Homo-oligomer: A and B are copies of this chain.
């Protein structure tokens, strides 16, 4: 197994373990995610659902939010791996793609895994022509 695949498998184990901590009583679909920081640290996330479905948060976003809260920045992220239950490796939803796009470089790989599948993308492949709003250009003059 080459080095890249070894790293994905290592992160997949973290993501799978994180999926066991998921709070998913509404979908019964526990997902885990693991972000490898360039420092070598792994930060995990799981989905955390809510009785008001719209306030549910996915595993990918939980991991990103945790990483930022632990002091990491955009340039610190080396790789993202997701684990979804079942045979099929599910791709991130649009909301997660948008949150990942705020922080990921385009050479950072996002890998989705299951027990039987593995799929890989860059963020540009997942969210082509990403929305990039120029805050300053629309700032109200004070």
Nearest CB in chain B to that of A73: its residue: B23
Distance between A9 CB and nearest chain B CB, rounded to angstroms: 21
Q: Taking A94-B97, A138-B29, A139-B142 as contacts, is the C-beta distance between A68 and B48 under 8 angstroms?
A: yes
Copies in the complex: 4
B133:A142 contact, CB within 8 angstroms: no
Q: How far is the CA of A78 from the CA of B110 in the complex (A)?
A: 33
Interface size of A by CB at 8 A reads: 66
Pick the contact of A98: B50, B129, B142 (CB < 8 A). B50
Chain A positions within 8 Å of B, measured between CB atoms, are 18, 21-23, 25-29, 44-46, 48-59, 61-66, 68-71, 85-86, 90-99, 101-102, 119, 121, 125-133, 135-140, 142
